Amino acid sequence: MKNEKIFVPPFKIQGIKTKLLPLIKSAITIENDMTWIEPFMGSAVVGLNIAAQKAVFADLNPHIINFYNSLKLRKITAKMVREFLQDEGAILAEKGEEHYYHIRTRFNTNHNPLDFLFLNRSCFNGMIRFNKTNNFNVPYCHKSQRFSKAYITKIVNQVAHFEQKILQNDWQFLCQSFEKTIAMASENDFIYCDPPYIGRHVDYFDSWDEQQEQKLKNSLFGTTAKFMLSTWDKNKYRSNPYIKLFWNDCSKINHEHFYFVGAQEKNRNSMTEALLTNYTVSNAKIPKSSNYEQINFEFDELKYLVDNGFK
């Protein structure tokens, strides 16, 4: 596993689990008759690298689901992605932010999955964020030469690998709630949950609060399947109180790594992640945490705590 390649999906999403993949993979066993179930698909980096023969990926963000269903139905191919990014990237190089906002308006009207990929790869810090009317509202990254030949090739290769896995396996992509997705699981299945981190900055497609965390606990403890849940355990400011409140009956594996928050070294902070399971893990391999990971949004943790009444 030391030199095992990690495949990165085409969409950039906050909190992507590439750093935790070796630990996650060492703590689970997937059999051929199991279904891998992800109620919070996000980037799907974990499921992509687990590559189970049968999988259910679900998310409340319809645009992620639409993109991968379009790949599955061959409405989109890696070749089409290359041509699209070459054409639109050339216009972006000429017109800059004028073209970015043209694509953003077009996407918010027509919801073209290729427009969504373009925006994700040319917006500020690669964020995915929607306003209260579900319109994509992330500003331009101000890099008119964003879609260089090498960058397009990188994205196309990521799409091509995902496309290959979809065609080789029985994978479903569903836009539905986590409750409905978890209810699909049987005793032989495996559920991996990576919900928005409660008590931290959330600006993806949906919000997350204590009520949602309680519903997730009820759903997971009501299933007969094995499950694993990713969450945060602690940082230098505080610990996650919801682990004891909701997840105290689970087994816990910890892994500490570092985040950059913004561009300045003073914003470099350690974070201890937790993997919570309803089974005992005996062979998990804790990876070394010598590298830093770039968080894709500007967020001042200390300011957040003060503003929200934490002490």
pLDDT tens digits for range 115-130:
999 999 999 988 899 9
Task: Kindly report, as residue ranges, where domains of CATH 3.40.50.150 are found in the chain.
Answer: 21-60+176-307
CB atoms near residue 108 (< 10 Å): 17
Homologous superfamily, domain 21-60+176-307: Vaccinia Virus protein VP39 (3.40.50.150)
Q: Using CA atoms, how far apart are residues 253 and 269, in angstroms rounded to an integer? A: 20
- Is the domain covering 72-158 a CATH 1.10.1020.10 domain? yes
Task: Kindly report, as residue ranges, where domains of CATH 1.10.1020.10 are found in the chain.
Answer: 72-158
301 is written with which tokens?
């943790």
**Residue from 10, 20, 9 nearest 293 by CA:** 20
Please write the tens of the pLDDT for every residue from 119-161: 999 999 888 999 989 999 999 999 989 999 999 999 999 999 9
Please write the tens of the pLDDT for every residue from 245-278: 999 999 999 877 555 444 455 555 677 888 999 9
What is the structure's pLDDT at 34? 94
Region 67-91: mean pLDDT is 97
| Burial class of 202 by CB neighbour count within 10 A (0 to 12, 13 to 18, 19+) | middle
Dihedral angle, C-alpha 207, 242, 37, 61, nearest 10 °: 10
Give the contacts of 302 (CB within 8 A, at least 6 positions apart). 237
pLDDT score of 39 more than 50: yes
